[in-house]
Structure 1
Amino acid sequence: MKKILFPTDFSEAANNAFVYALHLAKHLDARIVTLHVYEMPVVDYIDVPAYLMEVYDTVELANFENYKSQIPILRNIASQNQCDEVQIDSVLLDGDLVNSILQLVKTDNIDFVVMGTKGATGATETFLGTSTADVMTRTDALVLAVPEKSRFMQIKKIAFTTRFREKDLPALKKLLPLAKAFGAQIDCLYIKTPSTDVKDVVVADWELLMKNENVRFHIVENQDVEHSILDFIDNQDIDLLALLNHKRGFFEGLFHKSMTKKLAFHCSVPILAIHD
């Protein structure tokens, strides 16, 4: 059975993303592992170990009680979305959020990570949020980032950005089972810029390979890659955007503060990070 890791801070954005995790689990016959991570306070009473342990025990108990109180809320969200049958496990950890996620992905053989995200508010903050972008670039699991403005709709169309490179093909093949589970169409999008070019024979080869799949190919000529992707999402009624992570920092650069205004209005679909 596949596993979906769902980190949560109990916020509205996280609960919204949980709906996506539920439907993903339902369609893939997977179980969800909810994760809440908290950090112990830095205490200066290093010479009073008994007092220090008392502080830690109090913090740990408070976080446990808080997490326990949130579980019925998650169960209720599952019931409201007709996902009562989805198995949900709960994990509470002390430590750093990103490192805890990366560790669980390895030790628990996690297939997907689903995270809720918020829009940029600071001068240098990325749209996806630093934690989500960091997880996207540091794990081999598929990472689904759900913007707070997203509201779950049946996934019917998935956009996959490509440059028709050899390493893009395995990523597309990873996407096929997800699309089939939802009965969705994959729209492969290539943004042709003055500095890039793909031979017609390569495109023809891809079309031949995918002739029996529900995959469509689109070539758009524009030097502004990011805005072209967003326009395609709008014009084609895309429900999910899948991107191949080319290198560390790719997602931070793609959704930098300079695009916040446009993203705030247009990028309300979840983003799936796939690794090569």
Structure 2
Amino acid sequence: MKTYLVPIDFSEAAINAAELAALLSKQSAVKRIILMNAFYISPYQELLPNPDMFMIREQEIEEEVAERIQGLEKLKIDLSAKVKEGVEIEVVLQRSHLIRAVVNTIASREVDLVILGSIGNTSANAKSLGKHVTGISKASAAPVLIVPPTFIPQPISTAVLASDFLKVKDTFPADALNRMFGDKNVDLLVVNIDAKGRYNFDEPEYTIELAALKDILKGYNASYFNITDRDVIAGVLNFAAANNAQMVVALPHKYSFLQSVLHSSVSRQLAASSVVPVLLLK
């Protein structure tokens, strides 16, 4: 991983995500951290008054832009003392919608990982996953690391990887996992999700798939477990807490235990329950 992108709306959660990005730089080969703020004013806001007969003037827009850039520069200074030596921190202000700004930056700057707070200034409350998270997670071509505001930035030494041991051969995103953890000394706790009690672990199919998974992860210090909780998310998060994991890794949603992670009800539960960052691989 060479480039992290951290969207900044100056909320506590966003600042916390930036702090984690700085700390993770010491565990990775990252060369650049981009702190980006998106500021969008529609042409109608500039030309027409709002219901309160207030019309935004160009001078006010310029002052707001300058203030935001100043805030990004201050954060850059704060983080410069916390990143690995040699890591470059850039500040960017995009005059566009947040999701479009993120997508464009990922494409133009070859971003490897987006790190963002689970809530922000647009969130209704601390237990709601910010709309920005849902939108970015859907649109991003890069993996997304969602950081709860209560998580205290710390090195990642243990991560829970939630999987389905019977869907390994054709679906496991080995390259994405290696880009994230290949240069880190991280213990992987690989959890099989069996909420419906489908598996007979003596069956050859299971044995073959598990052997294939172990071969894929042979470069890691990996351990393997089984979870049968009907409440899948609670089961995984409880397992992570019991094993002092600092991260939960969700495979691409079309075949992961969080296949409906972007569904609103599940997202709210995830945001409210998780006390550790959740990595959505792509």
1:252 aligns to 2:270 (yes or no): no
- Give the superposition deviation at 1:83: 4.2
* Residues 212/63 of structure 1: CA separation in 2 closer, same or farther (3 Å cut): same
Q: Name which of structure 1's ranges 64-73 and 192-201 shifts more when overlaid on structure 2.
A: 192-201
Compute the displacement of 1:111 (Å).
0.9
Q: Percent identity over the alignment?
A: 20
Change (3 A) 1:149 1:43: same
Whether the 8 Å CA contact 1:28–1:178 is kept in 2: the answer is: no
C-alpha deviation, 1:121, in angstroms: 6.7
Q: Deviations over 1:206-242 (max 9, x none)?
A: 2244334222211112222111111111111110111
1:44 to partner: Cα distance = 7.4
The equivalent residue for 2:195 is 193
AA of the residue aligned to 1:155: I
Aligned to 1:210: 217
Q: Gaps spanning 5+ residues in structure 2: where?
A: 49-54, 200-204
* Cα distance in 2 between the residues matched to 1:187 and 1:173: 18
What is the RMSD computed on CA atoms of the aligned residues? 3.1
Query: Out of 230, 233, 239, which is 1:226 matched to?
Result: 233
2:280 aligned with 1:273: yes
> Whose helix fraction is larger, Structure 1's or Structure 2's?
1
> Whole-Å Cα distance in 2 between the matches of residues 70 and 163 of structure 1?
44
**What is the distance in 2 between the residues matched to 1:31 and 1:244?**
25
Matched, 1:25 2:25: yes
Q: Following TM superposition, by how much is the alpha carbon of 1:97 offset from its aligned partner in structure 2, in angstroms?
A: 0.6
Structure 1 residue 252, shift from structure 2 partner? 2.3
CA distance in 2, matches of 1:36, 1:149: 22
Q: Is the 8 A contact 2:7 2:115 kept in 1?
A: yes
- SS in structure 2 at match of 1:28: coil
Q: State how far apart, in whole Å, the 1-side matches of 2:260 and 2:103 are.
A: 18
Distance in 2 (CA, whole Å) between partners of 1:172 and 1:212 is 11
- Using the alignment, how far apart are the partners of 1:121 and 1:93 within structure 2? 21
Provide Cα deviations, 1:88-134, integer angstroms capped at 9, x if missing partner: 111111221111111211122111111112299759x9843221122
Superposed displacement of residue 57, structure 1: 2.6
Q: Distance in 1 between matches of 2:139 and 2:164?
A: 22
Distance 1:63 1:83, change over 3 A: farther
**Aligned partner of 1:10: which letter?**
F
Is the contact made by 1:128 and 1:147 (CA closer than 8 Å) also made in structure 2? no
Aligned residues: 265
Bigger CA drift: 159-168 or 233-242?
159-168
Whole-angstrom distance in 1 between the partners of 2:216 and 2:86: 37
Question: What is the letter of the counterpart of residue 233 of structure 2?
Answer: E
Letter of the 2:232 counterpart = V
2:147 and 2:276 in contact (8 A); partners too:
yes
Amino acid of the structure 2 residue aligned with 1:4: Y
Distance 1:65 1:44, change over 3 A: closer
In the alignment, the residues of structure 2 paired with residue 89 and residue 44 of structure 1 have an alpha-carbon distance, to the nearest angstrom, of 29
The residue number in structure 1 matching 2:113 is 112
Cα 1:194–1:68 change in 2 (3 A) is closer
Which amino acid is the alignment partner of residue 132 of structure 2? S
* Counterpart residue identity of residue 59, structure 2: T
In structure 2, distance between residues paired with 1:21 and 1:84: 14
